[in-house]
Amino acid sequence: MKDLNIYIADDDLDDLSFFKEALEDIPINTQVTHFDNGVDLMDRLFSDQTLPEVIFLDLYMPIMDGFECLMDIRNFKKFKNIYIIAYSSIYREREVNQLKQDGANQFLKKSSSYKELKKLLLDSLSKVNTKRNDFIVLT
């Protein structure tokens, strides 16, 4: 089975390490590429021949945050099939509604529990190929 090509944009290295470890521990094969900010992610998207199937976007990063990055990605037709999962440790209904309106496919609330994070990631990635048009919130 082909690996799911995933990009993660997150500037918090502790969160990133926790996140990547949980991804490795779920029964979905993934190939993960990490970016510290949205600018580096966008540069890679424009230079890559092979686009990721999924992008996890931390909402609060320096230089270019997840909100700006989402808007930029959705402004280009060549990126329309990328499944975007915005995530943060903070759940604010107003922001989640904005993410939905701006074209995110999911919002995922970060968990500090490894077991819970694994469950959220498995649930989240299991929906990538099935419910593309439904906005999903996982907390």
> Whose CA is closest to 98, among 139, 133, 70?
70
> Which pLDDT belongs to residue 46?
94
> Which pLDDT belongs to residue 107?
95
CB atoms within 10 A of CB 26: 18
Contact status, residue 79 vs residue 51, Cβ threshold 8 Å: yes
Quick: pLDDT tens for 57-95: 999 998 899 999 999 999 999 999 999 999 998 899 999
Residue 7, CB half-sphere, CA atoms under 13 Å: how many?
24
> Which pLDDT belongs to residue 134?
73
> Which pLDDT belongs to residue 31?
92
What's the average pLDDT block by block, 10 residues per block, for the chain (139 residues)?
A: 87 90 92 93 90 95 93 95 93 94 94 92 84 68
- Sequential DSSP letters for 51-91: --SEEEEESS-SSS-HHHHHHHHHT-GGGTT-EEEEEES--
Domain hosting 45: range is: 4-138
> Which pLDDT belongs to residue 3?
86
Residue found by looking up tokens 């949205």 in the block: 38
CB atoms within 10 A of CB 83: 21
Residue 13 maps to which CATH number?
3.40.50.2300
> Which pLDDT belongs to residue 128?
83
| Number of domains making up the chain | 1
Q: In angstroms, what CA-CA distances link 101 with 60, 67, 92? A: 18, 11, 14
pTM here is: 0.92
> Which pLDDT belongs to residue 1?
53
From CA 20, how far away is CA 97, in angstroms rounded? Answer: 27
Q: Which residues contact 71 (CB under 8 A, 6 or more apart)?
A: 102, 103
